[in-house]
Amino acid sequence: MYNDKESQKIVDIIQNFARKHSLFVLAYGTGCGAIEIPPTMTSRYDAERFGIRGAATPRQADVLLITGYLATKTLKRVIRVYEQMQDPKYVMGFGSCAINGGMYWDSYNTINMLDKYIPVDVYINGCMPRPEAVIAGFVKLQKLIQEGKADGWDRYKKNLDEYRANQKKIITNWVMPDFNR
């Protein structure tokens, strides 16, 4: 019964439904986009309608928001936070800076492609994306979760060596604890 494929499918559907409608967001304010989070959460746009609420620590969170450009110093912290989150976990990249570096594409201290360092499930374009766009991104993420396609956490585990190699290229003094799963 427990390992039965059919019943597992039903369990998956129920679990994905719960995951989809209850997204605890860790708003890690890396760049200028952090200022878009408060209007998204408060009265005007009210993201709590979709079951989206803030989480205080990475242990409780499901979604990591990378709000804007990511400096190389911040990357270390982002990786740390990402690895402390519990599976399944999702990453949303905000704005063009997270996609390709945006206006900082030739800066010496920001990274260009976020997806090379941690797996991103949903990108929201814009510079910066407005709250409507953020909510649209969340809806897209919900759709991916329902379909079981938001599997960044799985990719990260499977391709850990590749991600680590990329991360170590940027972070020269690597003193991070091991990723133990």
Residue with Cβ nearer another protein (130 or 179): 179
> Which of 62, 36, 26 is CA-nearest to residue 134?
36
Least CB distance to another protein at residue 152 (A): 13
165 contacts: CB under 8 Å, gap ≥ 6: none
Residue 125 CB, nearest approach to another protein (Å): 26
* Cα gap 153→91, rounded to integer Å: 9
- 10 Å Cβ neighbour count for 9? 10
Indicate the residue among 63 and 97 with the shorter CB distance to another protein: 63
Closest separation in Å from C-beta 112 to another protein: 21
Which is nearer to another protein, 104 or 153 (by Cβ)? 153
Report if residue 22 touches another protein, rule: CB under 8 A: yes
Residue (of 75, 72, 54) closest to 63 by Cα position? 54
Strand boundaries in 75-115, DSSP class E: 90-94
Nearer Cβ to another protein (57/109): 57
Site string for another protein, 28-47 (x = CB under 8 A): x-------------xx--x-
Read off the tokens for 96.
């063009």
What is d(CA 97, CA 112) in angstroms, rounded to the nearest whole number?
Answer: 7
Interaction with another protein in 46-75: which residues (CB under 8 A)? 46, 48-51, 53-62
Are 89 and 60 a contacting pair, CB within 8 Å?
no
Tell me which stretch binds another protein (CB under 8 A): 82-90, 98-106, 121-129, 158-166: 82-90
Q: Are 43 and 138 in contact (CB under 8 A)?
A: no
Query: Contact residues for another protein (CB under 8 A)?
Result: 14-15, 17-19, 21-22, 24, 28, 42-43, 46, 48-51, 53-62, 76-78, 80-81, 84-88, 175-177, 180-181
